Each structure stands twice: as C-alpha cells, then as structure tokens.
Copies of this chain bind each other. A is one copy, B any other.
C-alpha cells in the first residue's frame, strides 16, 4: 500500500472536545517531527455546525462537517480518527472500516462487549483488505513506558512477579461536584473502572506482553448522591475500583483506581517487580522512569531516576536535546506517528481492536466479580 500513493492521505477527525483537541494537536504537529507519509487535515466533524466550524479553523482542519456518514463515500478521506463518546464507536468504526477507511478509535473500544466483538470482527475483515485499525491507548506512547516495555522484553527485570498499578484522580473528591452523564450507568457504563482502570489494565498487558486470565474485583461509590438539574440524584457508577489479576505467565498484578484521591490529579503509577530488577513510573512525572538493576551489588543498588529524554529513548530523537521534557499531549503525536507508519508499511498497528477487546474483557470480569462478592472470575473469551 505504501509508496505508490498518488496523493496525500486524507484525514477526518470526529469530535472536537477534549480528545478531539488533543488529537488535532497531534495531527498538526506530527509531520514536523517524524517522517510519516504525506497527509492532509481534510475535515473535522461535529454535531454543532458553528462550533465545529470554529474548532476546525482553530485547530487547523481544512473544512468542517456535521454528518459523519457523509465521509463514508468521500474518496478524499482515507483515515478516520474517532474521538466521540464510547457509545458511538461501534457504529462509526464498523461503517468506516467497511467503507475502506483506516480507523483510529479512542479508548475504550466500546461500551459493551457485543459492540466490541463486532468491531473486532469488522477490523479483522478489513485487515484482510489492507485496511488498518487501532485503539487509542495513548499511554503506550509515553516514552518512559515504551522504555519500560523494552527493558522488560530484554529481560532486564528477569521474570516479572508482582505488578502494582494505581490510577488516582480527585475531581470527584468534592461532594458538591454536580451530577453528570459520566456518573450515570446508562450513559457511562461504569465510572473510574472503564475510564481509567482501562488504561491500567492495558498497561499491565502491554508492559508484560502477557494476558490476564482471572480477576477479583471490588467497586465502591463514596458519594452515593449528587445534585443534578432536578435535585439530588443517585450516582450509579463507581468512584473507585480495586482488582487483583492473574497473568498467564505467572505474574500477579493489583489495580486500584479512584476519582476521590484528594491531591492526586492524574497519578497513573506503575511498579513492576521481577526476579532481576524492578521499575517504577508516575504519569505526573512522565519524563522519568525509575529503574533498579538487581545485578548491581546491593551496597550500590537502588531505584535510579532515569530522565527519559535521551536520543536513544523511544520517540525522543525527534524532539529536543536531552533534559528538555515533553508533556502529556505528545503521547498522541507518537500515536499518530505509529498509526501512519503502520498504514504506510502495511504492518498491523497495535493496540488492535482485539487488544482493546481484551481490556474490555478484563473490565467485564472485574464487574462480574464485584457483583459476586469479589469472587475470582475467569476472563472470558466472549
């Protein structure tokens, strides 16, 4: 597919809120730093005509549109980047894949297992026709975490045994924070679990290159009622979630997530303990990876703070000299780079929809376990 393209790839992005803004930043900048196939920022899609037109102008898209279906038949659109809420993912992604468009979809893959499975089927069918798809677990593109995966893959921590992941935020710590669609099960599916534990679980599987086989889970809502437009309303999703996970390769991981952990703003922390070394990471300091080499004599052994800004670190040769840090948004630029490269080289991009589904399965198993008094549940194969 690569090389003989007669024109730049046409790109459409659907959604212009938080994620649409972040993805737009990536599309706007990726070609200044990375060697990627030529593309054009053709169209930004949203429901409100005026607002999306203004967003398109602000974020640098050539045009705007309000009907996502209008893209299906457009020959000048090769790639669709779906940044809408989860309940819209399946319909859109499947339609675009069937129409021969490469699709990048924000995480989570979808709100239901049925939809997720249908998306995987569509993705596999499309792949047979050279049409690519990927789900946006952008934290795989944090250089420090990509480095962590490399180090684990090289055996530098030996056999991984124990993994600890937490993702702590505090935007719901204030009990007067109002009711929103995110706190209703019918619209959000789940609370902290689907929103941020999904990142945690994807990281466990990504870093270890392994698969969760069973889980025990617990969910809790600390503030059970919040004020909505019509007065007090029950919160029907979790504020916090806990799980232990068995991995096929023998490791055990714990996951804890929260939206009420006062003082933690975006604290995805990961600790990996192996037989020969260990690693630690905190998303609030995403330019750093703590690395312990267990083969150093114990008198000089300790967790080393590696500033992940060297040219030899993943993605970093494209940016600035050593010591000049990058930010959260750069993960999206790296994601677009990898997606474009995959399209260009014909290699299947990762994380695939199937990998996104694998995360959904673990989340579903945690919910099932939580509903069954935390009893261990085997992660299903649908």
Binding site for B on A (CB under 8 A): 18, 21-22, 24-25, 28-29, 31-32, 58-60, 147, 151, 156-157, 161-162, 164, 166, 169-171, 173, 175, 216, 218, 220, 222, 240, 242, 244, 250, 252, 254, 256, 258, 260-267, 271, 273-278, 284-287, 290-294, 296-307, 309-310, 312-313, 319-330, 369, 372-376
Q: Are B305 and A173 in contact (CB under 8 A)?
A: no
Distance between A288 CB and nearest chain B CB, rounded to angstroms: 8
Q: Are A254 and B254 in contact (CB under 8 A)?
A: yes
Most interface-central of A171, A175, A262, A305 (chain B CB within 10 A): A262
Bound together, the chains give a CA A244 to CA B376 distance in angstroms of 13
- Smallest CB-CB separation from A300: which chain B residue? B291
* Chain B hits for A276, CB < 8 A: 262
Bound together, the chains give a CA A146 to CA B154 distance in angstroms of 35
Known A-B contacts A300-B304, A326-B327; the reply to A262 vs B292 at CB < 8 A is: yes
Known A-B contacts A28-B32, A278-B262; the reply to A323 vs B222 at CB < 8 A is: no
What are 14 A-to-B residue pairs whose CB atoms are below 8 Å? A18-B320, A28-B29, A162-B222, A162-B261, A169-B323, A216-B216, A218-B376, A262-B292, A299-B306, A302-B307, A303-B305, A319-B329, A324-B328, A375-B375
Bound together, the chains give a CA A25 to CA B274 distance in angstroms of 36
Q: Are B31 and A28 in contact (CB under 8 A)?
A: no
Known A-B contacts A161-B222, A375-B374; the reply to A322 vs B240 at CB < 8 A is: no
Known A-B contacts A301-B306, A305-B303; the reply to A322 vs B218 at CB < 8 A is: no
Bound together, the chains give a CA A309 to CA B228 distance in angstroms of 27
Bound together, the chains give a CA A220 to CA B25 distance in angstroms of 44
* Chain B hits for A266, CB < 8 A: 309, 322-325
Q: Are A292 and B263 in contact (CB under 8 A)?
A: yes
- Smallest CB-CB separation from A31: which chain B residue? B58
- Smallest CB-CB separation from A260: which chain B residue? B161
- Smallest CB-CB separation from A293: which chain B residue? B300
- Could you list 15 further interchain pairs (A-B, Cβ under 8 angstroms) beyond the known A218-B244, A302-B304, A326-B328? A24-B32, A29-B29, A161-B260, A171-B321, A173-B273, A175-B275, A262-B275, A263-B278, A265-B323, A266-B324, A300-B306, A301-B306, A372-B375, A374-B374, A374-B376
Bound together, the chains give a CA A286 to CA B260 distance in angstroms of 25
Distance between A116 CB and nearest chain B CB, rounded to angstroms: 26
Q: Are B18 and A32 in contact (CB under 8 A)?
A: no
Q: Which of B28, B222, B263, B298 contacts A28 (CB 8 A)?
A: B28
Q: Are A304 and B307 in contact (CB under 8 A)?
A: no
Distance between A39 CB and nearest chain B CB, rounded to angstroms: 14
- Smallest CB-CB separation from A312: which chain B residue? B299
Q: Which of B25, B256, B312 contacts A298 (CB 8 A)?
A: B312
Q: Which of B175, B328, B372, B376 contacts A325 (CB 8 A)?
A: B328
* Chain B hits for A264, CB < 8 A: 273, 323
* Chain B hits for A313, CB < 8 A: 299
Q: Are A302 and B291 in contact (CB under 8 A)?
A: yes
Q: Are A307 and B328 in contact (CB under 8 A)?
A: no
Distance between A328 CB and nearest chain B CB, rounded to angstroms: 4
